[in-house]
A and B are shown apart, each in its own frame.
Chain A
Amino acid sequence: MTRIYIIDDDDAVRESLSMLLRSEDFNVSAFANPLDFLDKIVDSKDGCIILDLCMPQMSGMQLMDELRKLKITLPIICITGHGDIPTAVKALKIGAIDFLEKPFDSTMLIDVIRTSISMRMNTQHIDDFNAYAREMIASLTPREHEVLEGMVEGLRNKQIAYDMNISIRTVELHRVHVMEKLNAKSLSDVLKIAIASGFSYVDSPAVSDDNKQVI
C-alpha cells in the first residue's frame, strides 16, 4: 500500500494535505514534528515523503541528512512557503526529487507524487529524463546557457546583466527563451532539468543563506 508521509508544522496545511491525499486513495501519515516522524518512518519500495523545509525543531535539510543516514530511499518532495533558488538548488542537490513552492495547485502535487512513485519503480524513467534534460540544455545558445548558469547560482537579473555586460532587458529575454526551450513551467522545473543534465553546479560560498532571493 502506497503510504505518503507528510511533515509540516502548520496544522492547516498538514490536515488539508492529508485529506487531499486520502481523497486520492493514498495512505497518509502526517507529522507536525520531524522527530516523531523519524521514529515512525519505515522504508519501503512504495510511497513518498512530503517535507516542509521550514520547521522550528529541525530544518528540512537536516531531516534529509538524517533520512540519508537512516538509508531511507523514499522519494522526497520538498514544499516551502519561503522558496528561494539556493534553497531549491540545495534541496534538489541533496536528494529531493522535486521542489514545490506554496501555494501550489493540488493536482500538481498529486502529479508529482504519482510521477515520483512510478519513476522510482522504473529506473529507466530516470535515465530517460536525464537524457531528455541533457538534450534540452544542449539546445540552448551559449548566451542562454550563461544566463541559466546565473539563474542556477541564484543571481538576480541585474547581477547577471552586470556579469555578462548586457542589459537587464536582454537577460529577461534570455530567461524567457530558456524557459521555453526547456519546456519549463516554473523555476523549479528549470532547476530540475539543469541538475538532471548534470549541470556543473558549484555550491559556492556566495550562495549562502545570507543571499536569499525570492523565486
Chain B
Amino acid sequence: MNSRITLYLTSDEQLLRYLNVNLSSGVFLEHICNIDELYSRIENNISVPDILVLGIKVQDPIRIAEHTHVISKSTKIIIFCEQKQEATIQESIRFSPFLSSGVTTYIYNGQEVFLNFLQENVNGIEKQRNHVSTIFEVEKDRLASVTNQPLIANYLDKLLDRVPIGILNVDANGKILNLNPSAQRLLQNSERKLVGTYLFNFFPQDSLLAIKNLINEVRKTNNLRHSRTIVCSFEGSSGNQYFEMTVSILMQTSIEPILSVILQEVTLKVQEESKRLVIEKALHESEQQLKLVINAIPELIAYVDRDLKFQFNNKAYEKLFGLSREEITGRNIWDVIGAKSYKVVEQYVMRVMMGETITFEEKVDYPKQQEMWIRSTYVPNFTESGEVSGFVVLTSDITQSKRDEDLEKKHMIELAHTSRMITIGEMSSQLAHELSQPLTSIEAYSRACITLIEKDKTTKTEIIHALTSVSNQAIRAQEIMHELRNFVKKSDSRKNICINELIKSAIKLLRLEFQENDPEIDLNLDNNLPDVFADRILIEQILINLIKNAIEAMRTISVSERRLHIDSSSSSNNEVAVSVQDSGPGLSQYEINKIFEPFYTTKPEGMGMGLAITRSIIHSHGGSLSVRPNSHGGTTFKFTLPVKDIDFIGG
C-alpha cells in the first residue's frame, strides 16, 4: 500500500517537481490549491492523506489542522513557518483541544533538507503500515481457524453460559469481576449490578461472615488445587434458598490471586434433607416411645434370631436375669435362661422355628431365681420367602396367679369337704337309721342262733339260713359305710356322669324324708341327656340339698297339696339343666335376694350354708344356680352344668 502525501503549498511548482522526482517510489504526491476540496475529501473519506503539508503562505494553518484532525486523527500534519512564527504556532498547537502529537512545525531550509525530512516521515508511516498489516494478517488467520474449527475454549464458553451452575470470578477481597448467566439468575441480579460489588453482600449476616472467612481461607492457602465448600443461604423470592459455594484460586497474579466461585443451588436438597431430618426425628421419637413402653411392660419381651441368639430384649429381661443388654444381645437362649430351663422350652422353640405360634405355661428354673411358673407366647417372624427368620418371645411370670389358682382349687376342695361334712351332719339321722337296720337284725339273728343252739332246738338249715342273713346284713352295713366314706373323701374327682342317675340316687337316699313327708313326686327326666363332667358326690349332694329343701318347704301345707317336680333337660348350648320345684308357701322377694348369702337361713336348726355352698360348687363346675317363684305358689331352684369340661377357675 502506498502513502499519499498532499501538499497545500499555494503555488511552489519547483518544490513540488523536486519532491515528485526524489521521493521514494510508491509515494503519491499531489497538490491541492483549494482548501474546500481537501475538506471534502477528508469528510468523504476519499483519498485521505497520510501527510498533509501546509505551505508558508497558507492562511490560518491551525484551523485547517484542527479541521483535519477532528476527522482523521491519523493524518500527520506539517506546518511550514518562519523562525519568528514558530513559538506562537507551537503554542497554538499545544493549546488546541483538537491537536496532538501528530502536528509539527517546520522551518523551510531548502528543498533537499525538506525532502529528507519528508522521506523520514514517509518511511515511518510505511513501516508502521507494514507492521499493522502483518498483525492484521495474523489476526485474519486466527479468525479463520476459529471459524473453521470450533475450539474447546469456545465450547466451554457456551457451556458456562448455559450450565445451571453459577460461576463467578472474584478478586482477593471478594469483589465480583465477571460471572455467567446462571450466577446472575441464582443471585437474582443483573450483571451490571453484580460486577464490581462484593459477593458476600448478597447474603445475610451469618452467611456473609462464613463467605468472608471462606474467601480469606482459600486466599491464604495460595494453592491452586485447594478448594473449600460451604452451604449458605439467603431469603430469595421464593423462600429461603440454599447454595453450595465452592471457592478455589483461579490464577495467581503478581499481587493478589483471582478466585473462582462455583455456586450451586441446593435448596431442594436442603429441603429434602430437612424433611428427612424431621421424619428421622419423628421416627426416633416414636422408637423412643415404643422403647419406653416396651421397657415399662413387666412381661419379658425379646426377639430371637434363627441362630437362637437374642437380638433384642426389654428391661424386664435384664432385670429378671440380672444381665445388661450387652450381656444378653447376641447370646444363645440357653446361655441366658440356663440349660435347665431351656430343656423345658426347647420343644416350643423347635415348634416356633417350624412356623407355629405357640402359647404355653411351664414351670422353669431360671438362674439366680426361685422356681417359677411362666406363660410364654412365641410368634415366628417370616422372611419374604416364607422362612422363619426368628421369633418374638413374650413371657410373663404367672407364679402368683398359679399359686392363687392352686389355693383357690384347694379352697374349693376344702369347701366341698366342709359342705359334705355339713350334709353328713344333716344326714346323720338318715345314716343312723340306715345302719341301725342291719345291725339290729345281725344282733337279733346271732342272739337267736345262740339261744337255739344252746337249747338244742334248731336245725342245720335254720342256722345256715340265719347266718346267711347275718352275712347279708353285714354286707348291707358295709355298703352304707363305703358310701359314707366316699362321701367324705376329700378329693375332686370329676368324670362323665349321667345326671338322671344322680337324681334317682338322691331320691333313694332321701327315702326317709319322702316317707315322713309323703309328697307327690313328679319326675320328668329327659332320657337323651348328654353326660355332664362333674364330681358325682358333690352333684348328688346338691340334689339332696335341693330336694330336702323342697320337702321341708312343704311341711306347713297339708300332705295332699305337697307336690315335688324334678325336671332334667338339655338346652342347645351344651348345658344340662335340672330344676327342683315345690308347691310350698314360696319365698318372699327379700328371702329370694338373701337366700344365697352364707349364714342366711329360714330353718330353725339350719346353718345357712347349704345354698351358699351349693352355688359355689355349681359355679366351680362352670354352671349356674337360680331361684324363682313358680306357678304352684312355691319355689323353683334350677341349676345348669356344662357338658364339656370347664377349667376349675373358669379358664
Contact = CB atoms under 8 A, between A and B. Distances in A.
B516 A15 contact: no
Given A12-B472, A82-B512, A214-B432, A103 B443 contact: yes
A52 to B, nearest CB: 10
Contacts of B515: 54-56
Given A12-B472, A23-B451, A81-B432, A209 B440 contact: no
Contact of B433 (A15, A56, A82): A82
Interface in B424-467: 428-430, 432-445, 447-449, 451-452, 455, 457-458, 462, 466
Interface in A90-117: 101-107, 109
Contact of A214 (B428, B466, B469, B512): B428
- Tell me whether chain B's interface is mostly helix, strand or loop, or mixed: helix
A20 B439 CA distance: 14
A24 interface: yes
A80 B439 CA distance: 13
B512 A13 contact: no
6 tightest A-B CB contacts, nearest first? A102-B436, A81-B436, A103-B439, A16-B444, A16-B441, A81-B433
B444 A81 contact: no
Interface in A187-213: 209-212
Nearest to B454: A23
Given A81-B433, A82-B433, A214-B428, A23 B440 contact: no
Interface in B260-278: none
A28 to B, nearest CB: 11
Given A82-B432, A214-B432, A103 B448 contact: no
A12 B437 contact: yes
10 contacts: A13-B437, A16-B442, A17-B440, A19-B448, A22-B448, A24-B451, A54-B512, A82-B429, A102-B436, A209-B555
A17 B466 CA distance: 11
A16 B605 contact: no
Nearest to A211: B604
A117 B130 CA distance: 190
A20 B429 contact: no
Contact of B439 (A15, A22, A102, A210): A102
Contact of A10 (B437, B604, B605): B437
A103 B436 contact: yes
A84 interface: yes
Nearest to B425: A214
Contact of A19 (B430, B436, B466): B466
Given A54-B515, A209-B516, A209-B555, A214 B440 contact: no
Contacts of A81: 432-437, 440
B473 interface: yes
B554 to A, nearest CB: 12
Contacts of A210: 552, 555, 604
Q: Determine which residue in B430, B451, B472, B476 has the highest number of CB atoms from chain A within 10 A of its CB, and name it.
A: B451
Contacts of B552: 210
Contacts of A209: 516, 555
Contacts of A104: 440, 443
B437 to A, nearest CB: 5
Interface string A45-67: 00000000011100100000000
Contacts of A82: 429-430, 432-433, 512
Contacts of B439: 102-103
Given A81-B440, A102-B440, 9 more contacts: A13-B444, A16-B441, A20-B448, A23-B457, A54-B433, A54-B512, A80-B433, A82-B512, A106-B447
Contacts of B434: 81
Contacts of A15: 441, 469
Contacts of B440: 13, 16-17, 79, 81, 102-104
A16 B469 contact: yes
B330 to A, nearest CB: 74
Contacts of A56: 515
Nearest to A206: B604
B552 to A, nearest CB: 8
Interface in B490-519: 512, 515-516
Interface in A23-58: 23-24, 54-56
Q: Determine which residue in A22, A84, A106, A210 has the highest number of CB atoms from chain B within 10 A of its CB, and name it.
A: A106
B244 to A, nearest CB: 104
A20 B512 contact: no
Contacts of A23: 447-449, 451-452, 455, 457-458
Nearest to A208: B555
A22 B442 CA distance: 16
A20 B516 contact: no
A63 to B, nearest CB: 14
Nearest to B511: A56
Contact of B476 (A12, A20, A24, A80): A12
Nearest to B477: A103
A210 to B, nearest CB: 6
Interface in B269-313: none
Contacts of A84: 429
Contact of A106 (B430, B435, B443): B443
Interface in B513-564: 515-516, 552, 555
A113 to B, nearest CB: 13
A127 to B, nearest CB: 33
Interface in B358-394: none
A54 B442 CA distance: 20
Contact of B605 (A79, A103, A211): A211
Nearest to B605: A211
Q: Determine which residue in A15, A19, A211 has the highest number of CB atoms from chain B within 10 A of its CB, and name it.
A: A19
B169 to A, nearest CB: 121
B123 to A, nearest CB: 167
A180 B449 CA distance: 35
Nearest to A11: B441
Contacts of A105: 443
Q: Determine which residue in A17, A81, A101 has the highest number of CB atoms from chain B within 10 A of its CB, and name it.
A: A81
B445 A19 contact: yes
Interface string B47-71: 0000000000000000000000000
A109 B440 CA distance: 11
B311 to A, nearest CB: 72
A68 to B, nearest CB: 22
